[in-house]
């Protein structure tokens, strides 16, 4: 069973006055088949956690450890983390001019799987996955995310998730900018991957609306760079009713 273990993680980012600590001791274990929702206000460090796990060079690890199946994730390069099974769906997916979606997907699958997928079966696999996400097949020949709407970009992220089949999927505010229909389609895609039981999911969000579609096993409240409370799905209902103020003012109870 794949397990991501984060222990006492501290992360800083360079600012105008020097390094600024963003994560202040994060402890979290995500096992294969589990879904963990990370919720918290803007600026609490949720996205910093996501990008630090993926290896973004902007963030400096100043303490702690991250292991995937006992292997030191922090010692891996970005591509090594991806091959090991760490997947990040970005809040703001970037455009890649000159690279078609089909080439991007096949190159990614080749890197992760260690060999190029057979073309005939791969084309069928991609078409079926795009159909499930209600994506126009013509998008396969467009440049990655160029001219895509917000919803189309997020569907493309989930398309990658379905095809690459990682061990740990980190979804950074996948629900941001989505209308009701797009949110449903994207959530259904995430649930299809979850149903395999082979992926541990770390779902980062501000709002509970995506949790109506994707039911978490565990909910964690993030504030001031650390997890300040954990619980089951009922904790998300509490947040919906009461907001984050008690955590940002240091009155957790």
Per the domain annotation, does 80 fall within a domain?
yes
Residue 53 is predicted with a pLDDT of 97
Per the domain annotation, does 199 fall within a domain?
yes
**Domain count of the chain?**
1
Per the domain annotation, does 141 fall within a domain?
no
Residue 27 belongs to domain spanning: 3-92+149-248
Per the domain annotation, does 47 fall within a domain?
yes
Per the domain annotation, does 98 fall within a domain?
no
- Cite the beta strand spans of 16-95 per DSSP E: 18-31, 35-39, 59-68, 71-72, 86-89
Residue 100 is predicted with a pLDDT of 94
Read off the CATH number of the domain in which 67 is found.
Answer: 3.40.50.300
pTM here is 0.92
Per the domain annotation, does 120 fall within a domain?
no
The series of mean pLDDT values per 10 residues for the chain, 253 residues long, is: 94 88 97 95 92 95 97 96 94 91 94 91 94 93 92 94 95 90 94 92 92 95 95 93 83 42
Per the domain annotation, does 104 fall within a domain?
no
Per the domain annotation, does 196 fall within a domain?
yes
């Amino acid at each position: 069973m794949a397990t991501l273990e984060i222990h006492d993680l501290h992360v800083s980012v360079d600012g105008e006055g020097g390094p600024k600590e963003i994560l202040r001791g994060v402890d979290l274990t995500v096992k294969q088949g589990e879904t963990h929702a990370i919720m918290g206000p803007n600026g609490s460090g949720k996205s910093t956690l996501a990008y630090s796990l993926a290896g973004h060079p902007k963030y400096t690890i100043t303490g702690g450890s991250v292991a995937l199946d006992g292997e030191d994730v922090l010692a891996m390069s970005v591509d090594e983390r991806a091959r090991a099974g760490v997947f990040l769906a970005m809040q703001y997916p970037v455009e890649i001019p000159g690279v078609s979606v089909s080439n991007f997907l096949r190159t990614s699958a080749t890197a992760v799987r260690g060999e190029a997928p057979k073309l005939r079966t791969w084309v069928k696999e991609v078409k079926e996955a795009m159909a499930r996400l209600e994506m126009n097949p013509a998008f396969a020949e467009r440049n990655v995310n160029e001219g895509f709407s917000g919803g189309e970009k997020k569907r493309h992220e989930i398309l990658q998730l379905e095809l690459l089949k990682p061990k740990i999927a980190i979804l950074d505010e996948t629900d941001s900018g989505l209308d009701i229909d797009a949110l449903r389609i994207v959530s259904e895609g995430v649930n299809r991957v979850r149903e395999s039981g082979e992926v541990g999911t770390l779902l980062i969000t501000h709002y509970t609306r995506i949790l109506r579609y994707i039911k978490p096993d565990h909910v964690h409240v993030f504030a001031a760079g650390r997890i300040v409370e954990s619980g089951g799905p009922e904790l998300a209902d509490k947040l919906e009713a009461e907001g984050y103020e008690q955590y940002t003012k240091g009155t957790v109870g």
